[in-house]
Structures are given as structure tokens and as C-alpha cells.
Structure 1
Amino acid sequence: MTRREFARSASVAFALPALFPGQACAQNKFWVRKELNSLTVAEWDAFDKVVGCMIDTDKTWKPVAEIHNESCPHGNWFFLPWHRAYIHAFEQHARTICKDFTLPYWDWTARPDFPKRFLEMGNLKRATRVDANLKRPARADVVGQNALDLAFSTQLFTVFGGRPNPKDPKDLRYDRGAGVLEIGPHGGIHLYVGQNLGKQGRPGDMFTDLAPLDPIFWVHHANVDRLWAEWCYERGRPPKSKTWPDIQKGDWATKRLEFTINKKDYNYHVSDCLSTFDMGYTYESFGSNKKDSVVTFPEKVTTEPKQLTEVVKDGLVTTKSATTVEVTKYTADEIKMWAIKVSNNKEDTKTPGEIHAWVDFSSVPLSGGILKVFVNNPKADQRSGEKDSSYAGSIVFFPRKHGHTINRHHTTCVALTKALRATDYFKKPEVGISLTFVADSIAEGEESVARIERLSIEMLPVA
């Protein structure tokens, strides 16, 4: 079964098994989150009522957004579990207002136009900060099917969901290890909504750490959460086939995530947040039948990635010029031999494993923007796009002047395997690797540049 077939088939019911049996969150009912387009009039009214009551009655709308402002992790391996717990706590509080409320999700890949209901309904419209004249859809090269396929091409959680602070793995505020889902499709929607002028001529809330003030945040992150759940069962394979953080050390799984809404505490560990079924909900695209079987995950990751680092000279990307960074230390043939050595399998000449890049920026554009990344295509320019076989994805920057935890220094991941295979890289042993970064949607000006200081190529054989 392909990932597209999996996502579209509501009749196939996969239960995401618990990583840590016995630590499930107790629930009185099993909930199914629905796509916005599937909501009934009553369900839209319930959403609108929740927003209105949190703004006017219990006065929790801004305090809940402040939680995100003060403690949200971006750019590290807590990004996905923290936001799963956060929107789950929001949903639990919302049910104190409407007992049958279930948070919907916005499938912006299938429906990239901004949802009109958020500009039409009373409380939703009141809280939404976006230009009412927004007519264009979200960019397909950032949130479309190909962008998701690139993100889903990895089996490594630290590439898909982010890596830790090497000095303090429990650091929630580390922001130099963003995974491909966060820095690409997730960031693309924040940019799409937030860059459009909101009311009173200010940027939209989605550009800032107070993004939850805009109700579109909640349905956006519900979709990000759905994509993480889908990644776990991508192509029908169970999560045990993925490469997860080393849970034996406990730095990731035992991290405590705490939220207080209207004087009520909602507490989780990361280990509680690795199965939507354990938390009492699923998504309509997966089906709603819960299976009893439990799959245990590996307790230890025994194979460490091999890494080669290039210090980049003159790695300046501007609106007027692209930058190509050539990795000169090894060729495709050397990578094949390297894969065989690491995997200890002399017969494994056709499966070189995964290759991805960690890109260190010493400076990012002041006003935010997008860099398109191409593999072994130094001629790529602003006319090149997602249909080019060398396209490896996009890096989305939030504006530094509006927050969202992006500072001048930033590190992010780009998954290269799919593009390398599409360009027949492994059939050309004499060819090395080069990455071309093309500025897109970046305003011109002295600080509208991205400066690359280091490029690290990692390779890891995958089971």
C-alpha cells in the first residue's frame, strides 16, 4: 500500500500501538478528528462557540497562547510530541465548554486554499488575523504531495521530527536541529498565513510565538500531528521499522510536558504522546477501529550515522544569486563502500541507506522566506521548482523580527535520498554531491540574506 492510498482510505483502520504499554491517558470516549471539509454545521458551530467562550467567558484564549509563547519547542526532537500534547490539552479544555467537541484538522495538501469559514463565522472571524482578500492557495512546492513525499522518504525520527541538543538532550528551547516536517510543510503554512497582512496592517499571529491566537493554528497543527501518525505507518509498515531515539537513556521518552489551563493541570510524558490511540483519538483518514495488539519498539539504536562535514566559504544566498555548496570529500562509489562497511553487509550494494544534510546557518533573513534546495544541479535558479528531479525540498524561515524562536543562527535538515535516486546518483560513481540553495519569497535588503557556515552530510543504512 502506498502512502497516498493509506492517507485516502477511510476504510483501512490502523491502530498506532503504544510505545510504552500501561502509560496510556485514560479516556471516557474514543474520538475521531475530522477534516474541515467533513464538519457538519453543528460541529462548525461548536468550534465557533469554543473560541468565543475562551475569549469572552473563561478568558483562556490568550493564556493558552502564552503557553506556546513561553515554552514551545521548535528546532529539536520535542517539536512533535510537545505540540501533540499541547493541542490535546486544548481539546480537553474545549470539552468543558462543548462536551462533544473534537478538534478538526486542515488537510492543506488536498485543500491548499485558506478555509473560508474562518473568515465568515463570528468568533472564528473575530480571532483570525489574515487578509480577507487572500485568494491564492498555499504553495504546492512547500505543502503539496511531492513535499510530503520528500519528508516521508526518511525512516529516521531525528530527520523527520528533529534532533536533540547534543549537550543537553532534554533542552526544549534548543533550535538547531529542525526536522524536515517542521522546516518544510509546517513552516510553509505559518508563512502562507502569517505573511499576509492582518487587521490594522500588522503581520498575522501565525508569524509569531503567539500563533495560537489565530484559530487556524489549531487545525494546522492537528494536520501536522496527523502526518506524524501517518509517518509511523507509512506504506503499512509498523513503527518498529523506524529508527527512533535511544529510549534506553530516557532523555526523550521520559521528558515531562506540563500545561495548565484555567487552573487545571494537563501533564504528559513524551512516552504518553507517541500513540494517538493511547491518547484516545484517531483521524478519520485512518479509520476509527482500535486494535488490541501492541508492538514494542527497539530499546536501543545500535547503528550511529556516519557524518562528514564541510566548512562552507562564501555560502551567501541572496535574492539575486543562488549558492552551490560542493561536498568534495567523497564520491558516490565511496558512499556505497561506506554503506557496506557500516551495515556490515558485503552484498548490500544496491541499498546505500539514507543520505541527508544538516545545514548550519550563521544568519537567516530578517523578514523570513524560503530557500529551495537542489541536489547536483548547479544551474538551478528561481525558475526551477518541485517538478525538477533534483529538487530536495524547501527550508522555510520565520521572520526574526516577529519571533517564533528563529534567531540569526539556525540548523535544519534536508533529506537527500529521494532526489539522489531520482537523478541516478548511485549509477554515477565518479560524481560527488553538491547542494544548490535558491532564495525564494525573500524581500530584498541588507539583512535579507541567508548565510551558510557549515554543511554536514550524514548516511545511515536503514532496515
Structure 2
Amino acid sequence: MQPKLFSSTMSRRTFLKAAAATTAAIGASALPFGAQAQGKAKYRRLNVLNPGAKRAIESYKRAIARMLKLPPEDPRNWYRIALTHTMDCPHGNWWFLVWHRGYIGWFEQICRELSGDPGFALPYWDWTENTDPDSPFQARVPAVMFEDVLTPAHPAYIANSREFQNRFRGVIARADYWKRFCGPNGEFDDETQYGQLLARGIRSPEDLWFDMLNDPRGRFFFDLKQARGTTREKPELDGKTTKAVSLQTLLDALAPRDFLTFASPKTLGHSALTGFGVLEGQPHNRVHNCVGGIFTDPNGNTTNNGGFMQANLSPVDPLFFLHHANIDRLWDVWTRKQLARGYPALPEGADFDAWSREPFLFFVDAKGKPAKKRTAGDYAAIGDFNYDYEPGSGEEVVAPPMFASLLGAAVPSESTRAQITRSVVSGEQAASAVVTLPSPLLGLRAQAETPRLYAKITLALPPLAHHHDFAVMVDDGNSRTDPSSPHYVGTLSMFGHHTIQAPVTFTVPLSGTIEAMRQNAQLTDSGALNIRIVSERMVKPGVPMARHAPGTEPKAEVLSIVVEAH
């Protein structure tokens, strides 16, 4: 069943027929779908904390060491692979998941080739399970990821930006990225590598170097002493990130029954940023930034100690690939949940056609040759990568039909728009809104198989707001933005350096907060919720959070807040 269902070359119609057949077959079986589907893959990606992952970890070290020594002319060189992400990665749109599946899938094959381990499969970092035994609510970086070349602070890495530029300036200038192709009538072909770069405002190698090294708003490259924000001595993630990777947040992220709510909103091209689903906006963005050195202490003071993971050269840190393997694992969990219940696992109709045609042109294979699979549709399923995952956090949503209805509870059709009472967020002044939930939404509980509530918050942001966070609270205005508070919903975080050209919509889960308020007798019968959006100060690498002079604080405007069930 597995090869047919997850073939990356099948048509949408064949995929859906196979899904229906699989769902029917599951209904007649006493085994969970996950157990059936996962038993047939050639490679298994293990939790990095599993003692059985030791061989994979050692192979990963060998592969990294080889890639670091490859000449810059080899596309499999460690920094050349990271540059693929810098030049082409999608964030804040519906291609986020599928692009990164292709990226780490080809990377895994390169590791297999260069490590000499034909059975290598990339481990994953299950942030939700990896907590401090002395502080069970404090997630942390796995200790093994501070060993040898598994940390980018190891001497095998390039020591500083000057050396990086000296080694790579020539090879980047001579690369095929900048070739221009025109049609028979002289029209420029934008479905080329150069066309994709232009869509990001990268016109020449000098533009790329400016972004990586010289942009005063923040660089992409970090010297060895700032290569990772977390350290062996202080591996813990901050409280807001720990909340973002909690099981409650994961279950909220996995609950939606349609692809766009689960993933991130539509755009017309994968270089554009339009918004974040729960999975991308919460665990993905928060982990990137926190490991990259953006850390908020229990008193709300935030510092930035630098680190590759916070910017678009993040794959220089080997932890990147374990982080994204876990994101991909959760997409696989969600897909299997969808298929087990007869829900759509991909965009539908014209949306699927547009989504699947998007060109992905920068991937290389295990030999360093351009990958032959060049569209998003080629990576809609695991397909020829032929891996599966050791079960981890969130797997419980793929329940056997004998214990969970295939259809689940009906989703209320109501959505409710909040009345915004103050739209501008600036400095110490929060934006505020009131939303009154109708009884079908108010009655929803944060339970398995029950639709959950989400707030879709649309902000008009400053063009350079890539390091500006906003905490979301449901309270009377007197609560601290503390992730341990029952009134704290989450923090809206950007990732990477993106010029904001249009309003951005963040989807955040509300069910857990509402349930906590209900248990504390803080939820009124009227269903009225007071929502606050609180600004958190801008950050710059290597310095404490700066306080702005009165009247000069960065501002944002709340355009809308809509509460929906999914």
C-alpha cells in the first residue's frame, strides 16, 4: 500500500483514489494506519534521543566533515547547500512544507553518499519530548548536538565572514544562478534560477553578499563565537518557545482538516510571505529564533546572542536538518490522520494545480547534479525518498478507526470577526479587540476528535519587521505576557529576513487558553473575549533588547482578528 500511496509521480486523481482505497482497507483492519504505512519504507528516521540513532549520528558527523572539506565548486559543499536555502527557501506561504521536504530529502541522500553509510536516515529532533528532566516544562537542544562538527562553533567551520567571502566570492559569481534565458520573442523566462532570484530582489552576486554580510538590519553569517545562540552549558529554550513546542500546541497544529489551515496561506509565488499556520508560526519560527540566540528570560528581557538559525543561512547549523525533519514528520502525521478519516491531504481543484506547478530549481542530487524533480508536485508525497519516521509526539492523532470516528465531530460553520478597539501596537501600548463567540464556538472543548478554535490575526507590519515579536493575550489587560499564564495564547514571530510588502496573517490556537479560562471560572456566559496584542522590542544580534525613545518605537496595525473552528 505504501509505494502506491506515496509515489511522488502519481497524478492527483490517482493519489486520491489510492487514499480512498487505503482508508477503506484500514476500516477493515485492527491495526493503526501509522503501523501499516510505516512498515514498508526502506529508511527510518529515528528520534535523535533514541539510543538506536547512534549509528546515524556518527554517519551524520562523517558526512558533515566531508562536506566541509569539499571545494566550493562542488554543489554538495556544506556552505553551498546552505546557500540553496538562502536563495530559494519559502517561508510564510503554502509551499513551506513541500519545499523543505525536497530540500532535506536530497540532503539526506547526499549524506548517504558522502558518509559511506548506505542505510543512513536523518534523525529528527522531537522538541516536545526533549525536555529538561529537572524542569519538565523547559525544552532544550539535545546534548549530542554540541559534539564535534554537530555544532557550527567547531573549528572545522569557517571562522569568520572575511574568510567565507574569500572562499566563495569567485565560485558564486561564476555559478549558473545568474544565467538569463529568453523565449523566442525575447521575453524573459522567469521560471529559471535567475528569475527566482529576481523575485527576491537579488539581482547580482553583490546583492547576495550584501544580504549575507553587510545588511545593517542584521547579517546572515556569524563568526564561530556566535555560530549558535544556545550552548552546552545553557541548552534550554526560553519559556515562549517551550510553550510553542508543547504537546498542546502540536495537537492544535495537527487538528485542522484542510491543507491551507494546517500549512500556511496561499501566495502567487514561493518567494512571497503572506502568513503562518500554527505549525510554521509557532514551533518552527520560535525554535529557529531561540536556537539562533533570540532568548527571552522569565522577566521579559530579550537578548540576541547571534546564531545561524535565526537567519536565511540557518542550514550552516546541523541542527537545522533535525529541526526540519521533525516538521516534516508532523506533516506526515497530519497526512496520515487526514487519509484515515477521509479528509483531503493536499490542496484541491485549481488550488492543487497552481500549488503543484510551482518551480523548485535549486536542488542537487547525491552526485551534485541538478535534481530532475523540479516542481512542488514532485514532493507532495515522500515518494522515492522512501523513508518513514519512528513515532513521536503528536502520533496519537492518527487513531485507529475502531477508537475514533472516521468523520469526527462536525465543524461549526460560524466564524466571528472581532471588534478592534485599538488597532495600533506601539511600545508599551497594546492593541485590543473584543470578540463574542456564538454558542457553537463557545461550546467547543480542547479534546481529541473535536474541532478547535483559532484566531487569524492580520497585521500591517513595518517593512523591516523580521525581528519584531507580538504576544497574544486573552485577558482584562492586567496579565503579564508570561507563557505560564492561562491567558497567554502565543507569540507571533517572524523567521529570517523578509521585506514585508503586504499584511501578514498569523493563525494561533485559542482552545487551550479558553479551556484554562473555563476551568478557572474566568469565561463569561456571554462568550466575550478580550484579546490583546502586545509588542515585544526589536532585537539586534549580540546586544540586549534596545529601548526606543518615546514616539520612535516600531509600530504595527491590527487590521482584523477572525475566530474560526477547524
TM interval, short-chain normalised: 0.7 to 0.9
| Deviation, structure 1 residue 185 | 0.6
1:88 to 105, 120, 144: 105
CA RMSD in angstroms, aligned pairs only: 4.1
Distance change >3 Å, CA 225–CA 243, structure 1 → 2: closer
Given the alignment of the two structures, is residue 117 of structure 1 paired with residue 106 of structure 2, yes or no? Answer: no
1:293 — aligned with what?
A: none
- 8 Å Cα contact 2:464-2:500 kept in structure 1: no
Q: 1:148-181 deviations in whole A, cap 9, x for unaligned?
A: 233234333222210112xx3xx10121221111
Q: Which structure's CA Rg is the greater one?
A: 2
Given the alignment of the two structures, is residue 405 of structure 1 paired with residue 405 of structure 2, yes or no? Answer: no
The within-5 A match list for 1:198-237 is 203-234=306-337
- 8 Å Cα contact 1:335-1:352 kept in structure 2: no
Task: Give the whole-Å Cα distance in 2 for the aligned partners of 1:431 and 1:43.
Answer: 51
Name the aligned partner's letter for residue 257 of structure 2: Q
1:46 to 59, 62, 65: 59
- 8 Å Cα contact 1:183-1:396 kept in structure 2: yes
Identity of matched residues, %: 22
Gap runs ≥5 in structure 1: 1-12, 288-302, 340-350
Name the aligned partner's letter for residue 96 of structure 2: F
2:371 to 265, 276, 281: 265
- 8 Å Cα contact 1:206-1:214 kept in structure 2: yes
Partner-residue secondary structure (3-state), 1:68: helix
| Deviation, structure 1 residue 354 | 4.7
Number of equivalenced pairs = 404
Partner-residue secondary structure (3-state), 1:37: coil
Task: Give the whole-Å Cα distance in 1 for the aligned partners of 2:287 and 2:5.
Answer: 29
| Deviation, structure 1 residue 431 | 3.6
Distance change >3 Å, CA 107–CA 40, structure 1 → 2: closer
Task: Give the whole-Å Cα distance in 2 for the aligned partners of 1:255 and 1:239.
Answer: 28
Greater relative CO, 1 or 2 (CA 8 Å, sep 6+)? 1
The within-5 A match list for 1:385-400 is 385-388=483-486, 390-398=487-495
Task: Give the whole-Å Cα distance in 1 for the aligned partners of 2:537 and 2:125.
Answer: 23
Given the alignment of the two structures, is residue 280 of structure 1 paired with residue 292 of structure 2, yes or no? Answer: no
2:480 to 352, 359, 381: 381
| Deviation, structure 1 residue 50 | 0.9
- 8 Å Cα contact 2:466-2:499 kept in structure 1: no
Given the alignment of the two structures, is residue 164 of structure 1 paired with residue 266 of structure 2, yes or no? Answer: yes
Name the aligned partner's letter for residue 56 of structure 1: K
1:182 — aligned with what?
A: 280
Q: 1:33-68 deviations in whole A, cap 9, x for unaligned?
A: 011112544322210111111121254211211111
Name the aligned partner's letter for residue 108 of structure 1: W
**Bigger fraction of residues in helix:** 2
Task: Give the whole-Å Cα distance in 2 for the aligned partners of 1:108 and 1:450.
Answer: 32
2:513 to 419, 433, 443: 419
Task: Give the whole-Å Cα distance in 1 for the aligned partners of 2:522 and 2:257.
Answer: 19
Partner-residue secondary structure (3-state), 1:357: strand
Task: Give the whole-Å Cα distance in 1 for the aligned partners of 2:420 and 2:340.
Answer: 38
- 8 Å Cα contact 2:433-2:531 kept in structure 1: yes
Name the aligned partner's letter for residue 258 of structure 1: L
Name the aligned partner's letter for residue 404 of structure 1: H
Task: Give the whole-Å Cα distance in 2 for the aligned partners of 1:450 and 1:142.
Answer: 24
| Deviation, structure 1 residue 31 | 0.8
Task: Give the whole-Å Cα distance in 2 for the aligned partners of 1:404 and 1:239.
Answer: 38
Task: Give the whole-Å Cα distance in 1 for the aligned partners of 2:2 and 2:363.
Answer: 32
TM-score (norm 1): 0.73
Task: Give the whole-Å Cα distance in 1 for the aligned partners of 2:103 and 2:234.
Answer: 30
Q: Which stretch shifts more, 117-126 or 306-315? A: 306-315
Q: 1:85-116 deviations in whole A, cap 9, x for unaligned?
A: 11111112222213332111111111132223
- 8 Å Cα contact 1:356-1:414 kept in structure 2: yes
2:559 to 441, 454, 459: 454
| Deviation, structure 1 residue 322 | 3.8
1:362 — aligned with what?
A: 461
